[in-house]
Structure 1
Amino acid sequence: PPALPTPPPVDTAQRKVGGDALATAGLVIPADAPPAPAVTATAWQVADLNSGEVLGGCGPHERRTPASVQKLLLAATLMPRLDPKQVVEVKREDLADLDPGSSLMGLVEGGRYPIETLWLGLLLKSGNDAANVLARVGGGEKGRQGGVDAMNEEARRLRANQTHAATPSGLDGPGQYTSAYDLALIARACFAREDFRRYIATRVAEVPAQPNKPAFQITNDNTLLDRVPGMLGGKTGFTQLARQTYVGVVERDGRRLAVTLLGAETAPLGSLGEAIALLDWGFALPPNSSVGRLVTPEEKKSSSLAFLVTGLGVAAGLTVMALVVTTPLRRRRGERRGANQP
């Protein structure tokens, strides 16, 4: 594979988001946990999306190339903003820069499709054509770039500090990175939505006919849906640069675990086999196992408010101190003046 570009350095404070133990480029698991499975992924994490506890990981905050798991950030960003019933037209610019051999759902120029169909094509077939259309429509006047800008704004809101999108689809672009920890934050936002859960668990969907193309069906590429008990959905990714990437969520006995992995090789297990092994390891741990936690956007708002209140409190305190200090001085001066008067 081509050499990985050197990512921007991650500062110490960002490495500690979610807990000091997560600030490592190596393995972090609970002290009493069984050994984690041996995997080829260069970064991974298992987290409980319900409780927010991080059960273990390897280089959770290390920047890696995302490939198509980047599409989850697109969904987290634009699914709340776009009307699923809106019908949009595919333009030449949506398809012009896509390799016909890449992952496509099969859109045609001039075709008109409901937004909901595009979400299904994005999540079932990892359609890069769907990603471009959704980003353009969601980007408003700025078009596709506006959609990418919105993705980066959403990453900041979710406190996914190691994530930066350059393309909406996850096709390699300059300065495009994510981390295993960030992917768990993004997955948590996605799987909190009923519509997202419904889309990503769909087995088969129909794409409507167009004047120059008959209707056809697309099937879900996530083979784990029918192999892993409790599988809610997952997203694969691959480029020569990123290698294999994966995000998957499984729910059992009230626990909803997410596995996120980056930089995996196709052998011996591949990303899906490694995901299964890591999920089985996570479910075998006691529910209170933890090496850190997933932060929330609300915490950032709370800390900002606390800072503001503290700042106002300090300012008020300084004002009171100034009054206490200056008033007696004025009295003393007045008293002295009075004492010197005849």
Structure 2
Amino acid sequence: MPAPKKTARRALTVTSAALTALAALAPGATAAPSPSASPSAAPPASMSTVGGARLGKPGTQVSLAGGAPVLPKDLTARSWIVADAESGDVLAAHNAHWRLAPASTLKMLFADTLLPKWPKTTKHKVVPSDLADVGAGSSMVGIKEEETYTVHDLWLGVFLRSGNDAVHVLSAMNGGVESTVAEMNDHAEELQALDTNVVSPDGYDAPEQVSSAYDLTLFARSGLQKKDFREYASTVSAKFPGETKKDKKGKTSRKPFEIQNTNRLLSGDSDMDVYPGIAGVKNGNTTNAGSTFTGVAEQGGKVLLVTVMNPAKDEHNEVYKETARLFDWGFKAAGKVEPVGELVPPRSAAQASPEPGDGAAGEAGGTGKGAAGTKPVAGAPTADGSGGVGIAAGIAGGLLVLLAGGVFLINRKWPLPDLVRRRTRP
């Protein structure tokens, strides 16, 4: 579908999270190379060094200290990363900045960009033009023309069913695909996700549309600052409005149907169990991208983010299996490895210098009305009547970002979702 190409980004340098208050910029970070529609079979010899010099090197990067477990030997993904969601430390990575097709994991950036736009209760009647550019073979939640949906319905469609139809309706509400793509690219740059070039807001394969395991992890970490994002990402199943139909007597009704999250670490499958402590985030699969996935999980008070892109092994649910193995390794290795890099803060946060003693900033929730000093609410259920499985009021995180105000606070925790607590109990 037609969409503007992103202009070349400025080379940005980064510093560690511990020094963000000083807004210091570390030397050596380079701008990512120009996007490629057909990435090579091997990673580039030199990639972006945002987050640290070692993250720009091809191959596996890890620094095992005494007692640290070795990495799993059966990893086949082209690119992956394991990071501490609180500190931002990258525990290990493999071709972290390799620019690859992201598939529907790009919807994390879409959601992080657009979630604050409307209250959940906002309604929209779908017109034919809203769905005109949905790609052939796209994943769909089942949106019908001339039907009315709430924004809450549409976000459930995006997160649970990876519905490209829901993405396009929300994009239409936002002024169209072109303006939405431009906003997503701007937001990616604000997050210092410089490997990313958005062409299609739903992640559908498009020439020059690329991201990286590093950038996808930044999107997840930023999105998880938002209460609504955490709720949707951890919802296992929900009711979605069906099509209005008339019976023989002319009476109309609209029966909802159940949708389930396609994240198999969250919902489980015939060949795998739900991963202990999982709380999102987003999966994807296209012809060009293969299978991609970013997940967040908590065990023993430690919260990890793992991104896996395009496993070579052709086995059912392989992307989830490799993610699970990396989670297992990360929880065992935490505190026993030297970080090989870091997840950088947003540019506005790196430039801000909060004074000691500043109060905590409020969340940027789905209404876009986060206020200073507000606290997340534990155990708040979703409004879709999903029987409790969609309850998630906050994923633990040590870094609270309020992009509008440029506030970046360290060591702030949220209450864990009930979903996580249930699945981590013995």
1 CA distance for matches of 2:309 and 2:95?
10
Among 177, 190, 202, which residue is 2:235 paired with?
202
2 CA distance for matches of 1:134 and 1:288?
44
**More divergent stretch after superposition (165-174 vs 25-34):** 25-34
SS at match of 1:55: strand
2 CA distance for matches of 1:74 and 1:10?
27
Alpha-carbon deviations, 1:164-219, whole Å to 9, x = none?
A: 11111110112100011111110001112221111121122122344346322211
SS at match of 1:145: helix
Shift of 1:11: 10
Among 256, 260, 269, which residue is 1:219 paired with?
260
Shift of 1:95: 2.3
Is 2:185 the partner of 1:160?
A: no
**Structure 1 residues 299 and 191 mapped into 2: Cα distance closer, same or farther (>3 Å)?**
closer
**Structure 1 residues 193 and 202 mapped into 2: Cα distance closer, same or farther (>3 Å)?**
same
Among 64, 71, 76, which residue is 1:36 paired with?
71
Q: Summarize the alignment of residues 17-166 of structure 1 with structure 2, pairs less than 5 Å apart.
A: 17-32=50-65, 33-37=68-72, 38-98=74-134, 101-138=137-174, 140=175, 143-166=176-199
Amino acid corresponding to residue 34 of structure 1 in structure 2? P
SS at match of 2:110: helix
1 CA distance for matches of 2:88 and 2:44?
23
1 CA distance for matches of 2:262 and 2:308?
18
Is 2:324 the partner of 1:276?
A: yes
* Number of the residue aligned with 1:178: 211
2 CA distance for matches of 1:158 and 1:51?
16
2 CA distance for matches of 1:4 and 1:147?
21
Alpha-carbon deviations, 1:64-92, whole Å to 9, x = none?
A: 10011011010110012222211112221
Contact 1:88–1:113, Cα closer than 8 Å, also in 2? yes
Shift of 1:264: 1.7
Contact 2:237–2:259, Cα closer than 8 Å, also in 1? yes
> Where has structure 1 moved over 6 Å in runs of 4 or more?
9-12
Higher helix share: 1
Amino acid corresponding to residue 295 of structure 1 in structure 2? V
Is 2:224 the partner of 1:191?
A: yes
**Structure 1 residues 188 and 281 mapped into 2: Cα distance closer, same or farther (>3 Å)?**
same
TM superposition score normalised by structure 1 = 0.81
**Structure 1 residues 58 and 105 mapped into 2: Cα distance closer, same or farther (>3 Å)?**
same
Amino acid corresponding to residue 183 of structure 1 in structure 2? L
Shift of 1:55: 0.6
Which structure has the bigger radius of gyration? 1
1 CA distance for matches of 2:282 and 2:49?
27
* Number of the residue aligned with 1:327: none
2 CA distance for matches of 1:154 and 1:126?
21
* Number of the residue aligned with 1:285: 333
Contact 1:48–1:258, Cα closer than 8 Å, also in 2? yes
Shift of 1:122: 0.5
Superposed CA RMSD in Å reads 2.3
TM superposition score normalised by structure 2 = 0.65
Contact 2:64–2:70, Cα closer than 8 Å, also in 1? no
**More divergent stretch after superposition (256-265 vs 204-213):** 204-213
Among 351, 354, 357, which residue is 1:301 paired with?
351
Contact 2:48–2:195, Cα closer than 8 Å, also in 1? no
Is 2:291 the partner of 1:241?
A: no
Unpaired runs of 5+ in structure 1? 304-342
Matched residue count: 296
Contact 2:85–2:304, Cα closer than 8 Å, also in 1? yes
2 CA distance for matches of 1:61 and 1:266?
21
**Structure 1 residues 266 and 170 mapped into 2: Cα distance closer, same or farther (>3 Å)?**
farther
**Structure 1 residues 42 and 10 mapped into 2: Cα distance closer, same or farther (>3 Å)?**
closer
Alpha-carbon deviations, 1:203-236, whole Å to 9, x = none?
A: 2212234434632221122221251111011311
* Number of the residue aligned with 2:424: none
2 CA distance for matches of 1:10 and 1:152?
23
Contact 1:244–1:265, Cα closer than 8 Å, also in 2? no
Shift of 1:19: 1.1
Amino acid corresponding to residue 82 of structure 1 in structure 2? W
Contact 2:78–2:312, Cα closer than 8 Å, also in 1? no
Alpha-carbon deviations, 1:122-160, whole Å to 9, x = none?
A: 00001010111112212x3xx121111111111001000
* Number of the residue aligned with 1:321: none
